[in-house]
Structure 1
Amino acid sequence: MRHRPLYEALSAFAEEAAWLLAGDTADGAEVPFEVVESRGRRLDTPLYCYRPLTDAFIRDRVGVFGRLPTYTPAARLLAGLDGVAAYLREQREPRIPLDPRELADAALRVFISRVFSEATEFVITPERLERAYAEIESAVFEGRADAVVVAPLFGLRIASAEIALGEGLSLIGGEELEDAPKDAVWPLGADE
């Protein structure tokens, strides 16, 4: 089961980062390329391909990500999770910061680099976002089990969609849950 707060925070951040990066390229910034040699059908004929260095382009702009409205909530959420260093190791990041905030900053940069890996246009596709999110989620939550407990809390009315309690625990209104048992959402005799 997907960690909803993390997915929503990273999706929102990726969307804003895409706009920022697309704006930079529209203003004339160029994504650097490298020429890669690969073998064609005939072994004696090399084939040369251009490969965009999206990671370098993103790394050069990492300082402006912090000004995006969705950056701080995403960084704060990542800073509170345990497996972020494991994610950076899996992505072969050369330096793993010890400070939780620096760790979160590095993870957000790597995440955005993975969303746009080898892309020349900064348009989010569901496939790219899902792949990059699956990488970070599997590393951060490896060895953990997600559970959903559905129970009515009498006398409590939630004004927002969700109340985060910390450590991945949150309260949500029953109407927010798909497939929740009807009696757990609004038990018989409960006032609306």
Structure 2
Amino acid sequence: MTIIGYARVSTREQNPESQEAELRAAGAAQVFTDHGESSRIADRPQWIACQDYLREGDTLMVRALDRLAGGEVMALQIVHELGERGIQLKSLTEPEIDTTTPMGRALFGVVAVFVQLRVDTIRENTRRGLAHARAQGRIGGRPTVMPAERLRAAEALRSQGHTLSEIAQALGVSRSSVWRALNSPGK
């Protein structure tokens, strides 16, 4: 029997090292880690590799169930598929879950519902926060590299017959940024 770990972070900016360290400390011989992958997507590259690596009698270990699946239907499907293959599932933060017993499977079903509630609550809070920010005139995303003064300079250079590449080099931005700014709706 081998313990195999699976870790996942939702964005590229997040660091999965603490999850990986916890899994190794709990006995994982190997840890598969997805970076910037949603828990709602089943075709995560390292999740697929992990599934291919798992063998009958192995234990799949995760830090928390929400690292594995973003909804109760997906979580239950994963547990069912693992069970059919003779693979156990253990969670470091939900230690009462042991899918080798009827009680453990029942507890897993209850926890999966709470995992879904947590994911839905985070999603709703994010939507609410973005709506509040928009109501105050703020929008999300990265600041533009082409503010009004740089856009005016780009328009002046274009009117003088300069190419997009020349304009980009003069302004210190990429050619695509100049193209988008000069070709945006309302231009």
- The TM-score bracket by the shorter chain reads under 0.3
More helix by share: 2
TM (norm. structure 1) is 0.23
TM (norm. structure 2) is 0.23
Please tell me whether Structure 1 or Structure 2 has the larger radius of gyration of its CA atoms: 2
